Amino acid sequence: MKKALLVVSFGTSYHDTREKNIAACERDLAASCPDRTLFRAFTSGMIIRKLQQRDGIHIDTPLQALQKLAEQGYQDVAIQSLHIINGDEYEKIVREVQSMRPRFQRLTLGAPLLSGHGDYVQLMQALRQQMPPLAATERVVFMGHGASHHAFAAYACLDHMDGGAGFSGAGGGGGKLSRSGHRH
């Protein structure tokens, strides 16, 4: 049975960023699944169009990639999203995967990075291990683009947890969210 690994991300139009981040994750995932052929898809139509028009690079959407995999005879497809939260982009992937399920014997979709409480704990521990010690006058700022989706609460959860993760100057989430200009 032909097996594929489809790695899905929002995408980026910056070559160096794509190589250092997306391609690096793809290589690591492919190394952990040596019996699968690696494929890539982006969820951002804007990024896909820009890469096609500017660079002549074609990247499939998740649905296009799944259609091609079915046509090429792949019957076992593992999909891993590089998305951080269970937001609009991830929900779109879920819908597309569900629509294509009948065309495969096995079709699995991995969760985004922050899907449960333990994921937040692990992320904060990993960030703490990577951060250099901070002086009393230094602060760490983590930024997310925000969302109108209910998954936006992930940012408040991270904000709440960062104080216990050893980041000096971390404050409460409620005030930061209300000052962020985000409209509900």
Residue positions annotated with a catalytic role: 145
Q: Spell out the residues 6+ positions from residue 56 whose beta carbon is closer than 8 angstroms to its own.
A: none
CA distance 138 to 120: 23
CA distance 149 to 86: 9
28 phi and psi, to 5 degrees? Answer: -65, -45
Query: What's the first-to-final CA gap in the chain, in angstroms?
Result: 47
- List the alpha helices (DSSP H) in 56-152: 62-71, 88-100, 117-130
Residue 100 neighbours by CB distance under 10 Å = 19
